Amino acid sequence: MGFGYNKAMIEPHVPVLYAEILAHLDPQPGSLYIDATLGAGGHTAGLLEAGALVLGLDADADTLAVARERLARFDRQATFVHANFAAVAEVAPAHGFAAVDGVLFDLGLSSLDVDEAGRGFSFRREGPLDMRFDRSQGPTAADLVNTLTADALADILYEYGEEPRARAIARRIVERRPLQTTTELASVIEAVTPRKKGKGGIHPATRTFQALRVAVNDELSALEKGLGAAIGLLKPGGVLAVISFHSLEDRLVKQMFKRESTGCICPPRQPVCTCDHRAVLELVTRKPVVPGAAEVVRNPRSRSARLRVALKL
Ligand SMILES: C[S@@+](CC[C@H](N)C(=O)[O-])C[C@H]1O[C@@H](n2cnc3c(N)ncnc32)[C@H](O)[C@@H]1O
């Protein structure tokens, strides 16, 4: 199968909520930032242009190479590391970023990956069922769909994709496997979940693809670990900004921000505090910031973005 792959030919990723991110992070010459999800370096370019120093991480070595090339003119200010942000507590201090002015998480995948059939993220393009951000390790989506039991698959589709037809889809996948490509999987799902007539609604494979991607990359545990570590790396007054693209991520961010901006977290009926929990964050955005209509028209990928910002106390 010839799945063409050439990142240079692809339109660069358009950074989401760019003005809002720069306004919240407020980069100054010499200040230190961690971009935990460097991607094509769109947000980081703004930080570097303001004179800040940036440590950019990405789990995807190919995307990191694109950013490195695009940002080559800032080589004195930028450090690029191929790493999962789950490891930021160890990676950042090793590169001199132990106490920073801001950390940005712009979650999910960059449009470089969505647009590239060979990565297997899109049900619209025929490609191998891969879906790993980091192709140097871990199981692929094909490994999951071709080896898990129907029950285990259904749990993934339900838990990570909120797919109401999880059991039926999982049963059909098990009947039809082995499945090797994105379009094979999409047509198995379509056969169980016929597309609604007319405009609107999502493609029947959307939730299953999201669920498999979340499972393949262990995205929610990485996020929980990465956010916790980022809070520890911020200086007092430092800014934590997180853009999420689906409700599971946003819920996790919201709950973590709530817990870490609260003092005692003992059950409300407990008369004496035994938790010793202290607030370490102050919420800046009570409700998530979403892109305006003009941004959604310009960049439809931004339509599900939700930005939450907090300050380190
Ligand atoms: C939405 S893109 C970031 C786009 C970037 N802000 C820009 O403006 O170009 C998200 C990036 O995060 C990376 N990523 C996702 N999960 C990651 C993780 N756990 N650790 C490190 N990088 C991750 C993806 O490979 C992708 O390149």
Q: Which of 142, 145, 147 is nearest to 132 (CA)?
A: 142
Mean pLDDT for the chain?
Answer: 93
What predicted TM-score, i.e. pTM, was given to this entire model?
0.93
pLDDT digits (tens, 9 = 90+) for 85-129: 999 999 999 999 999 999 999 999 888 778 788 899 999 999 999
For residues 48 and 99, membership in a common domain is answered with: yes
Helix (H) or strand (E) holding 42, with range, is: helix 42-49
pLDDT digits (tens, 9 = 90+) for 40-97: 999 999 999 999 999 999 999 999 999 999 999 999 999 999 999 999 999 999 999 9
Give the distance from CA 312 to its chain's centroid.
Answer: 22
Helix (H) or strand (E) holding 58, with range, is: strand 53-58
130: β partners: none
Residue 218: both structure tokens together: 């262990």
Closest residue by Cα to atom 2, ligand 1, is: 110
Helix (H) or strand (E) holding 101, with range, is: strand 100-106
Find the CATH number of the domain harbouring 181.
1.10.150.170
The answer to whether the CB of 17 falls within 8 A of the CB of 295 is yes
Q: Which of 262, 156, 168 is nearest to 214 (CA)?
A: 156
Q: Classify residue 277: in a domain, yes or no.
A: yes
Q: Is the CB of 58 under 6 A from ligand 1?
A: yes
Q: Classify residue 127: in a domain, yes or no.
A: no
Mean pLDDT, residues 223-244: 98
Mean pLDDT, residues 19-33: 98
Residue 34: both structure tokens together: 């961690």
Q: Which atom of ligand 1 is closest in space to residue 43's alpha carbon?
A: 8
Residue 139: CB atoms within 10 A of its CB come to 14
pLDDT band at residue 11, thresholds of 50, 70 and 90? low
Q: How far apart are CA 234 and CA 53, in angstroms?
A: 14
For residues 204 and 262, membership in a common domain is answered with: no
pLDDT value, residue 198: 61
pLDDT digits (tens, 9 = 90+) for 192-228: 986 666 656 789 999 999 999 999 999 999 999 999 9
For residues 82 and 224, membership in a common domain is answered with: yes
Residue 98, domain extent:
7-112+219-312
Q: Is the CB of 37 under 6 A from ligand 1?
A: yes
Mutation pick for ligand 1 pocket among 16, 21, 58 (CB with most ligand atoms within 8 Å): 58
Q: Is the pLDDT reported for residue 8 higher than 60?
A: no
Q: Which of 169, 175, 32, 176 is nearest to 104 (CA)?
A: 32
Q: Which of 21, 106, 23, 25 is nearest to 63 (CA)?
A: 106
For residues 251 and 173, membership in a common domain is answered with: no
Residue 294: CB atoms within 10 A of its CB come to 8
> Angle at Cα 276 formed by Cα 274 and Cα 282, nearest 5°?
135
pLDDT value, residue 3: 36
Pairing of the two strands 234-244 and 100-106: parallel
For residues 91 and 145, membership in a common domain is answered with: no
